[in-house]
Structure 1
Amino acid sequence: MRQIEYDFSKFKNQEPTLVSVAVRTEILDKVSKAFIDKYQDATIINIGCGLDTRFLRVDNGRIIWYDLDLPEVISIRKQFFQESERNKMIAKSVFDYSWIDDINTNKHVLIIAEGIFMYLTQQEVKDIMSKLANAFKGAEMLLETTPSSLVKQNQKQDLIKDQYEIEARLQWGIKKGKDITKLNSHIEFIEDSHYFDYHKERWRIIRWLSLIPGFKDRFGNRIVHIKIN
């Protein structure tokens, strides 16, 4: 953090955001680890990796891990992490589908999309899912989703920019985890994990509001676990 020219202090008083990121990390680590325990020679594709360190936390000494992000992001990433035979970096946009040809995969593939799809349009998400469905049949995927109600609210007020001074806009969301199957006929819903169901004591007033029917579907993010058939 000290080596990155970024003002992290803007998050100091954003406890719900900090809890959300921590919970998101816990869920993704847990499900990724379970997948790797089941398929010990798995291939993992981390879309929009940023400076994520998940490979270091879940590596079993056998998996092959690909970190994919924009060239400028990967150039920063390489200041802190080194590639290896089992942990490779791909400096391409997710929309530059030539990255798919850079993947040497086996039949057990897990794709992770953390903090990315909600900033894309629904058509862009559909296009990505169509490419993934064609290229990685039988793969499983973990993707973070935001409620469609927050997307609608963001169209009236730029929530991300107003709160965090970040140039990003919510554009796509779903109400229920199972809604993800509407994106592509090859998607099979496995389960979803709602952030508000974890460490409830840390959510303060949200802990009680989440007991109201429909509240979680309107205001909380979740990790959706799917399979591509």
Structure 2
Amino acid sequence: MTKEYNDRIEELEHMSRYPENIYYRGNLNLLKKRKVSIVGSRKPLSYTNKTTFKLANELAKRDIIIVSGAALGVDAISHKAASPNNTIAVMANGLDIKYPAVNSKLISSIENEGLVLSMYQDTQKPRNYTFVQRNELVVALGEILIVTQADLNSGTLSSINYALKMGKEVYTIPHQIDDSLGTQKLLEKNLIKPIYNLENFVNNFGKIKKSEDEKLSSFLNTFPSYQDALRLYKDKIFQLELEGKIVIENGLVKPI
């Protein structure tokens, strides 16, 4: 069900004009987290696919929310790599419309587990101008913008222009000399920055956030005392004992 969001969103103050309305479906808590915007070509190269997925996935592991526009290509890859519960999709239409239709399943999963935003009320269909306005909102939400591929005269270049006007850093990935000419030209002018080492880049956003299960697994591999294990993971320890996944020997917990 679509709801209207009435509080101010600090990041949107960077837009040329604050939106008259913001509609949403999903988890508003994602707005409180650190966010990075990722956009790019609707027809990305296989190299772009792979690198975009890796970037979004590694950032999400560091508890960074990925913001994109739910379009074909780079947008969809970014949302999927982040996982639905760690992404914000910004739509160019009313939220009762799943556009593009080929991404309807993805959009629905983000509605249920993540967050979907729009400046347009239900039933409003996408138009050329709504895509441009959507792009500005996507850029405003992220602390930086990553454009993994953009050709000359690509609509994605409008996102870069918005980011530069907002004073945000824009990053891209290196391409072969005849590929992604839109970003290549901007690199030549030193308007945007290249990501040469993906690991170093994502590590600037912190360490990987382990899930509770991963934390418990790491803890058990230290052969903790039964008393410490119960103090930190009482219910889990009882469950693992019943399932026969741990044993208690000489007062220590040992995984099987």
Q: TM-score if structure 2 supplies the norm length?
A: 0.38
Which of the pair has more CA radius of gyration?
2
